Every structure is written in structure tokens, then in C-alpha cells.
Amino acid sequence: MFTAPLDRREAFIYVLVEHQSGTDELMPLRMLRYMMRNWDRYLTEHPKARRLPAVIPLVVHHHRRPWSGPTDIRELLDLDPPTAEPVEAYLPRLRFLLDDLARLDEPALRARPLTPPARMTLLLLKTAPGNPHLAADLRRWADDLRAVLDRPDGIEDFVALVTYIETVGETPTDELHDLFAKIGPEAEEAYMTTAEMLRAEGRAEGEARGEARGRAEALVQLLTHRFGPLPPAACELVRFASIDQLAAWTTRALTADTLDEALR
């Protein structure tokens, strides 16, 4: 959610970056729900308000396939044109702005009056996910990446971009390192630090998941030994429990008289 001046008043711009694998046919309804939540929150914070701030909905779609769904809530209404025409004035109206990155080529992106971080964000949303050749693709954007670093507090924006690249991309680490090294020492250091931090976090998360999996299997064996074959719902409950919850249930299972008591 962003705010912007509109006719000397404050307006909200609600930006949804759509990560789904395909087009959401009910997106206009989703956007209406988001707008209602924002207005409800506004009225809670401003109980004396009798007018609402404008909310401009924007969907950024960055799947490889272009958007093919509706952008107007009226397209969702199950009415034939002859039926809709007499009541058109009374039907809800909502059309959201759509930025379909699948239809945006690089010259058009470069032509947009954007800050370097905003331009690189759109580029990475469009090109980074699952891309094994991202380092090669980014070489022609090296000046733009350098421009991100040259801004005040640019290192924070740069680290955010690198984090996204490492999270969704599939480019070999050595190729990315070579790219950022050629941009400059600050870019190289930021990449190496961020990449190592993400790898460390990944190892820690993997170890935690492994520990939780082991504890869950042990608890299932204990519960089965005490109460017989477990229903699927109990197995699912144990499988997705936290380590702390698994520890508590394991302790309780030693003395509980029933399965429900052990997992309460």
C-alpha cells in the first residue's frame, strides 16, 4: 500500500504483485475485498470520518504467459448484455490497473520514468524466476544495477534485489559472482555477504525441518504403540507441528489414557 496526493487529498494506491502460476479469473473480486479491508481499517483508525480515501488498485502480473482474465468486476456478473443494460447504472463498478510484465519488452521498460530500484524490480520480476541464464541477461543492465548502489541508502535496495535473485533464480553462483564483481567492489561484497547469509539460513532451516521430521516420526511410533493405528487427521496434525509442540505431545503421550488426551 502506497499513498499519493490526489487533488490535494491523500489517496491510497494498492499494489498487488501477482505470483500465481496462471491468471486468476476472480481477480476483480479479490481486489474489491482488499479495498474493503483497507477502508474498514481506515474507518477504525478514523471513526469520525464520513468520506473514504480513494483506493487505486494495481495488479503487477509477472508470469511468463500474458494475463488473460477479466480486469473489471462487471465481467464476472452472470448477465447477458440485454439483461444488464436496463440495470447497468446499479451494478457495481471496479476496474483495476494491470501491469502485465509478460507483454513488456526491455525497450519499453527502459523508457518508463522509473527510479533504478523500481526498474530493476520489474525486470527481475519478469526475468529472474527459474532463469539459469540470469547473469548473462543482467550484463546489459549492469549500469542500472550500479545506479541502484549509487543512490542514498542504495545498498539496502541492492541487497533486496540480490536476495530475490538468490531466492527465485537458478543461475550458478560463480556466474553471479562474476557479474557483480565486474559492477564493482561494493556490489561484489554485497552479493557475497547476502548469498552466504541466505545459504546459512537455508542450512539452519533444513536442520530444523530435519529435526522436526525426526521428532514427528518418533511421536507417531509412540502414539501407535500406545493407542493403535492413528487416524489420518492425527498423522497430519503431528506432521505439521512445531518442535516445541512435538516435545509437549511426546511428554504427554507417555501418561495419557487416550489419543485425544495426548494431542490436546
- Render pLDDT for 207-230 as a digit per residue (tens, 0 to 9): 667 667 777 887 888 788 788 888
| Phi, psi angles (nearest 5°) of residue 173 | -60, -40
Domain hosting residue 136, numbered range: 105-183
Q: What is the pTM of this model?
A: 0.69
Number of domains in the chain: 3
The low-confidence residues of the chain, meaning pLDDT below 70, are 16, 18-21, 200-208, 210-211, 255
C-alpha 171/C-alpha 188 separation (Å) is 16
The per-residue pLDDT for 206 is: 62
C-alpha 67/C-alpha 16 separation (Å) is 14
Q: Are residue 174 and residue 217 in the same domain, yes or no?
A: no
Give per-residue pLDDT as tens, 15-56. 767 665 578 899 999 999 988 988 999 999 999 999 888 888
The per-residue pLDDT for 207 is: 60
The per-residue pLDDT for 27 is: 92
Q: Are residue 5 and residue 99 in the same domain, yes or no?
A: yes
Alpha-carbon distances of 51 from 3, 13, 33, 38, 48, rounded to whole Å = 17, 17, 18, 13, 9
Give strand pairing partners of 57.
14
Q: Are residue 222 and residue 145 in the same domain, yes or no?
A: no
C-alpha 119/C-alpha 161 separation (Å) is 11
Q: Which of 103, 132, 164 marks a domain boundary?
A: 103
